[in-house]
């Protein structure tokens, strides 16, 4: 993967082909030699892939031309089926940034990559831009937005250094956990449409192709030349560095949002909600609880339609059973604006008290809650 951003279109569009189905197919081929069975399966997989690609080409040809005049069109991978907006840290980063900057945008899940082979990418007034860093620079220039206006030169330098650590180092450890070590769980979250009768076989094949690509690209990067334990050790160091930098602040660089928050959230959200039972999930929901609170703070503030089923649980993964977890599909809006779409009518005069709200009715994860006032109130009881 050039530049760490996902360039292949099946990253967010596939789900599992159970291994037991594979064994059933092999058994169903009778007593033929193993090499014949392998040949049959390979041929079937190729036919399935060809049929799927033909179907997608026909669908794309039928799609109407997108008009990006005075509108931001965000091209990204399809939503996964576990209620999380994206399994791609960069797609989640970009969409979160647009919400933080309060820029209306329209999602487009066509699966088409940019001219540079990147995802996500945008169209605005018929101009196409890919690479999240270049997209943000473009929007700042064209629309005058700037989430970093409160940062001084020293803080901007720190922000860029942390961004590179997250996107060029921490990202690869997440990719390893998602696509190599935790592949079976990742496959269950992915979605694929249009595969027809060969969809299960195609999903299984594509997932394993993805795994091979990730391992090869990690080897070229250099981080993939280490052992599994060493890769997780590097991941833990990055997560502890982020936790130390965040401390008890509302956002990474202080009391106000910056572009870095979209970057960090896009990556940490993968550990929070897409890697069940893994070391990064246990770490972020256990020892590094301030990172979990940080992720919840941003999710609740900028993703009001993303209702997670574990909203009111304590962040210790061993306290909740996997069998009891269900996922609510993410509601998607064809055209999104934070201020225009979600208005809290009558919120000034009424509130409901829940286990994760303070005495004013505000969420304890809300960035606007004054924790000192909350502590004083508790001491006065």
Q: Write out pLDDT tens, residues 19-54.
A: 334 444 445 445 566 666 567 667 766 766 666 666
CA distance 130 to 120: 7
Residues 6+ apart with CB under 8 A from 235: 170, 173, 174, 177, 279, 280
How many whole angstroms separate alpha carbon 107 and alpha carbon 78?
10
What pLDDT is attached to residue 95?
98
What pLDDT shows up at residue 321?
39
pLDDT digits (tens, 9 = 90+) for 46-84: 766 666 666 555 555 445 556 677 899 999 988 988 889
Measured distance between the N- and C-terminal CA atoms of the chain, rounded to whole angstroms = 56
- Enter the tokens of residue 250: 């509302």
Q: Given pLDDT bands bounded at 50, 70 and 90, which one contains residue 13?
A: very low
> Quick check: helix, strand or coil at residue 73?
strand
Taking a C-beta distance cutoff of 8 angstroms, is the pair 274, 82 a contact? yes
What is the percentage of the chain residues whose pLDDT exceeds 90?
50
Which of the four pLDDT bands, split at 50, 70 and 90, describes residue 186?
Answer: confident
Q: What is the pLDDT of residue 70?
A: 83
Its sign, for the CA torsion 204, 208, 34, 50, is positive
Which of helix, strand or coil describes residue 119?
coil
Model confidence band, residue 327 (pLDDT cutoffs 50, 70, 90): low
Contacts of range 367-375, beta carbons closer than 8 Å, 24 or more positions apart:
367/250, 367/251, 367/297, 367/298, 367/301
Give me the residues paired with residue 107 across strands: 74
Determine the pLDDT at residue 57. Answer: 57
Residue 258 has pLDDT above 60, yes or no: yes
User: How much is the average pLDDT of 83-89?
Assistant: 94
pLDDT tens track for 349-366: 333 333 344 434 444 444
* Range among 105-109, 192-196, 210-214, 241-245 rated most confident: 241-245
Residue 57 to residue 259: CA distance in whole angstroms: 36
Local confidence band at 276 (pLDDT 50, 70, 90 cut-offs): very high
Residue 328 has pLDDT above 80, yes or no: no
pLDDT of residue 308: 66
Q: What is residue 307's predicted lDDT score, i.e. its pLDDT?
A: 74
φ and ψ at 108, to 5 degrees?
A: -140, 115
Running DSSP on this structure, what letter comes out for residue 197? G
In order of 110, 319, 321, the CA distances from 193 in angstroms are 11, 35, 30
- Taking a C-beta distance cutoff of 8 angstroms, is the pair 114, 130 a contact? yes
Q: Where are the domains of the chain?
A: 153-304
Instruction: Give, for 233, the enclosing helix (H) or strand (E).
Output: helix 228-246
Inter-residue contact 177 to 278 (CB < 8 Å)? yes
- In terms of pLDDT, which residue wins out, 234 or 322? 234
Residue 198 has what pLDDT? Answer: 63
Longest CA pairwise span in the chain (Å) = 79
**Dihedral over alpha carbons 196, 200, 206, 208 (to 10 degrees):** -170
Q: Is there a cis peptide before residue 130, judged by omega within 30 degrees of 0?
A: no
Which position has the higher pLDDT, 235 or 44?
235
> What are the percentages of helix, strand and coil residues in the chain, rounded to 5?
55, 5, 40
Which numeric CATH code is attached to 153-304?
1.20.1050.10
Q: What is the distance between the alpha carbons of residues 231 and 182, in angstroms, rounded to a whole number?
A: 14
């Amino acid at each position: 993967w050039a530049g760490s951003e996902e360039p292949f279109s099946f990253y967010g569009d596939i789900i599992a082909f159970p291994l037991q189905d594979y064994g059933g197919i092999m058994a169903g081929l009778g007593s033929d030699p193993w090499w014949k069975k392998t040949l049959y399966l390979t041929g079937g997989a190729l036919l399935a892939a060809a049929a799927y690609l033909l179907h997608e080409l026909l669908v794309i040809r039928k799609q109407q031309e997108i008009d990006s005049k005075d509108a931001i069109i965000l091209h990204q991978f399809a939503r996964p089926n576990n209620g999380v907006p994206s399994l791609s840290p960069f797609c989640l980063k970009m969409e979160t940034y647009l919400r933080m900057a309060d820029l209306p945008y329209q999602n487009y899940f066509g699966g088409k990559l940019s001219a540079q082979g990147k995802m996500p990418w945008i169209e605005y007034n018929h101009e196409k831009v890919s690479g999240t860093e270049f997209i943000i620079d473009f929007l700042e220039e064209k629309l005058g937005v700037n989430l970093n206006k409160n940062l001084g030169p020293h803080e901007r330098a720190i922000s860029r250094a942390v961004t590179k650590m997250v996107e060029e180092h921490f990202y690869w450890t997440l990719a390893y956990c998602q696509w190599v070590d935790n592949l079976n769980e990742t496959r269950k979250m992915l979605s694929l449409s249009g595969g027809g009768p060969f969809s299960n076989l195609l999903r299984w094949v594509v997932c394993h192709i993805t795994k091979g690509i990730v391992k090869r690209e990690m080897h070229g990067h250099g981080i993939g030349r280490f052992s599994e334990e060493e890769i997780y050790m590097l991941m833990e160091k990055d997560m502890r560095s982020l936790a130390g930098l965040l401390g008890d602040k509302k956002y990474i660089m202080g009391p106000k949002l910056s572009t870095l928050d979209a970057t960090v959230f896009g990556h940490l959200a993968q550990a929070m909600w897409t890697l069940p039972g893994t070391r990064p999930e246990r770490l972020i929901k256990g020892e590094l609880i301030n990172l979990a609170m940080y992720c919840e703070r941003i999710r609740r503030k900028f993703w009001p339609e993303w209702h997670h089923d574990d909203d009111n649980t304590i962040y210790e993964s061993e306290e909740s059973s996997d069998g009891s977890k269900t996922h609510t599909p993410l509601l998607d809006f064809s055209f999104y604006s934070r201020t225009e779409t979600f208005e809290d009518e009558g919120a000034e005069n009424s509130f409901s008290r829940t286990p994760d709200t303070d005495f004013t009715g505000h969420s304890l994860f809300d960035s606007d809650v004054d924790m000192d006032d909350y502590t004083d109130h508790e001491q006065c009881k």
